[in-house]
Amino acid sequence: MAHIADMTKTTYREAVRAGLREALLNDPRVFLMGEDVGKYGGTYACSKGFLEEFGPERIRDTPLSESTFVGAGIGAALGGMRPIVEVMTVNFSLLALDQIVNNAATIRHMSGGQFSIPLVVRMATGAGRQVAAQHSHSLEGWYAHIPGIKVLTPATVTDAKGMLLTALKEPDPVFIFEHAYLYPMEGEFAEGALPVDIARAAVRRQGKDVSLITFGGSLWKSLQAAETLAGEGIEAEVVDLRVLRPLDQATILASVKKTHRAVVIDEGWRTGSFAAEISAQIMEGGFYDLDGPVARVCSAEVPIPYPKHLENAALPQPEQIVSAVRSLMR
In angstroms, the CA 127 to CA 137 distance is 6
What string of DSSP letters covers 202-230?
Answer: EEEE--SSEEEEE-TTHHHHHHHHHHHHH
3-state secondary structure of 116: coil
Choosing from 14, 35, 86, 135, which is the catalytic residue? 135
Q: Which residues pair with 125 in a beta bridge?
A: 179
| 140 noted as active-site residue | no
Residue-wise burial string across 199-233, b where 16 or more C-beta atoms lie within 10 A, e elsewhere: eebbebbebebbbbbbbbbbbbbbbbbbeebeeee
Give me the catalytic one of 35, 66, 267, 311.
Answer: 66
Burial of 130 from C-beta contacts in 10 A (0-12 / 13-18 / 19+): middle
- Cα-to-chain-centroid distance, residue 31: 21
66 catalytic? Reply is yes
The CA distance from 158 to 230, in Å, is: 26
Cis peptide bond prior to 56, omega within 30° of 0: no
CA distance 276 to 269: 10
Q: How far is 25 from 136, CA to CA, in rounded Å?
A: 32
- Which active-site residues does the annotation give? 66, 135
